[in-house]
Amino acid sequence: MAVDPAKAKKIILTSALIAGLVAIFSLLVGGTWEYSRSPEFCSRCHTMEFNTNTAARLPHAEVACTDCHLGVGFNPKMIMTKITELNQVVAFVTNSYEKPIRIKKHVPVQETCERCHWTEAFYDDRLVVNRTRLEDEASTSQRTALLMRVGGGASRDGQGFGIHWHVENDVFYATSKDGQVAAIKLNLGNSMVEYRQEGMAITDPVKWKRMDCADCHNRVAHRMPTPAGVADAVVAGVADADKIPYLKREVRKLLEQAVEMEANKWSAHFEQLIKFYQDNYSSVYNERERDITGLAGSLTEQMRNLVYPEMEVRWDSFQDNLTHQGCFRCHNGKTWTAVNAPPQSPPGLTISMGCQTCHSLPVVARGDQKLTLELP
């Protein structure tokens, strides 16, 4: 029996419409919508273990996943986003998702960050004290103080300077095919002037993006520590760590080596810590055997802060733009050539790499030294 093509098409379209309406109804009733936005729902997939664990340790731990990845509150386009991204479910079931998973679509900061953070607020210099350990024999504690020139505020109020100057002024950028910043556009008074970095090809067509919160705070909810950072935390938890020679150095070294290994080799690898002290500091090992063997056993668990083998995620998989790496995308001391500069504007631009553009010179105190910082 022949099927009328027009009738068949109508049946298919009607079925698709009904399926879509059912999906929308299912999301909106019985608490399904709210549950589908909760961290409990997001963390049910093993692919989210890294994201769940890192988020739980950071200041945004109480913020729901979807407040950043979908938007705060509710609007109709969120439903369509949920429906159109059902391909993620297919990828999960068929094990065809990329590793590591990288965000392809970013929700505008106006719908996420700026629902809580007011960009026009002025922030004066902020004191930051970083606590680390040296790799000397005593694993000496070190505190490094910096005055971060956060700045901010609106230019119309005579402010709009410091680090937050970038989001309170008209600053746009475009990238090369490999994601490097290749061109910038600045509002120099009455006109937008484009500058391009020498030797870098810009994408075609050019896609300009205005700088916003997420260009620097790109890992704000999922930052991973470095091996040195984990070693600092481990050593800080050992009583009288200064009596165990070169503890920070040896722990950091073993962690860095383990990152390159398969997970089933970690336990045996960390036993080298025991052997190091047995061979080189036998009297220390005899006195602190419980501490050293316990530490060696705990390092395998510490690797969960650095590596997620199943998802091929490691501590350096994602660039953190709050580090110097992020700043040096533009602040690299190289020459940027103007494309359309008006007569009164400079034909070239060198963006400073000066340390004090974003923070004061560091003040360091070691061991029992007092940390003294002179305010300008």
The span from the CA of 178 to the CA of 173, in Å, is: 14
pLDDT in tens, 269-287: 999 999 999 999 999 999 9
Statement: residue 154 has pLDDT above 80? no
101-111: pLDDT as tens digits: 888 778 888 88
pLDDT, tens digit (0-9, with 9 covering 90-100), for 205-262: 888 999 998 999 999 889 999 999 999 999 999 999 999 999 999 999 999 999 999 9
Percent of the chain at pLDDT > 90 equals 39
Q: Is the pLDDT of residue 52 over 90?
A: no
The DSSP bridge partners found for residue 187 are 192
Whether 14 has a pLDDT exceeding 70, the answer reads: no
Which pLDDT score is estimated for 145? 94
Predicted TM-score (pTM) of the model is: 0.81
Residue 269 confidence (pLDDT): 97
Taking 70 as the threshold, does the pLDDT of residue 4 lie above it? no
Question: How confident is the model at residue 287, as a pLDDT?
Answer: 96
Helices 272-280 and 289-302 sit at what angle, rounded to 10 degrees?
150
Q: In the structure, what pLDDT confidence band is assigned to residue 151 with cuts at 50, 70 and 90?
A: confident
Residue with tokens 């991973």: 224
Spatial separation of the C-alpha atoms in residues 370 and 187, rounded to whole Å: 45
Alpha-carbon separation of residue 269 from 135, 256, 274, 295, 297 (angstroms): 20, 11, 10, 13, 10
The confidence score (pLDDT) of residue 259 equals 96
Contact call for residues 106 and 213 (beta carbons, < 8 A): no
What does the pLDDT average to over 363-374?
90
Q: In sequence order, which ranges of 169-226 are alpha helices (DSSP H)?
A: 213-216
CA 363, 364, 369, 371: dihedral to nearest 10 degrees? 30
pLDDT of 153 above 70? no
Res 276: pLDDT: 97
